[in-house]
Structure 1
């Protein structure tokens, strides 16, 4: 279904790690660790400022992969992993893009399921890798059939 998209990537999208957005994100996940929200704590930290929570890249835009059409509903969030070279710093610009890593299918108890594996990259203004986010989206038989209509 998506095999022809393996290796395709989006263009880079610039996002600024804004203090207000980090605070709202920390509140939404119920983790108000002072390193995320307290400016004084951030200044005294080894980073010299506040950082974003580890799952924050989820809210960053990473562009559109041409040809990738996913349904608006019915997808299952299968897996997500983050790997960091260093934390995201409040105030910095990050350039994110996504790549289709793989697509495979498995027979399940409710029919054939598709597994779409993507990887998002986040780089700083110098082009240095800051993080990667690996994600698997599960496409159920019901959703697959609806997409073919």
Structure 2
């Protein structure tokens, strides 16, 4: 169903690790560690400034992968894995893009299920990798039927 999308990627989108957004995110997830929020703590850390929580890239814009048209509802979030080269620094610009890494199908109780593997990437201004986030989106038989109509 989505095999022809493997390898497709979005254009890079500039995002900023904004202090206010980091504060709201940290509060929302219940992790108000001073390294995320307190400027003095950040200045005295090994990073010399505040950093964002590890799951913060969830709020970034990764652009649109042309031709990958998923419905807004009915999908199942199967898995999420983050890999960091270094933490996200508050105030820095991050250039993000998404890529379809794989698609496969398995038989389930209610028909075939599709597994779409998406990778979100974040790079610094020089194009050096900061993080990757791999997620698996499960496409149920009911959603597959809607997509093929």
Task: Please indicate the TM-score interval, normalised by the length of the shorter structure.
Answer: over 0.9
- Structure 2 segments unaligned to the other structure (5+ residues): none
| CA RMSD in angstroms, aligned pairs only | 0.6
TM-score (norm 1): 0.98
Q: Indicate the residue corresponding to 1:22 in structure 2.
A: 22
Q: How does 1:39-118 map to 2 (within 5 A)?
A: 39-118=39-118
Distance 2:21 2:90 in 1: 10
Count residues with an aligned counterpart.
149
Distance 2:46 2:72 in 1: 42
Q: Indicate the residue corresponding to 1:141 in structure 2.
A: 141
Give runs of ≥4 in structure 1 deviating > 3 Å.
Answer: none
- Structure 1 segments unaligned to the other structure (5+ residues): none
Q: Secondary structure at 1:115's aligned position in 2?
A: strand
TM-score (norm 2): 0.98
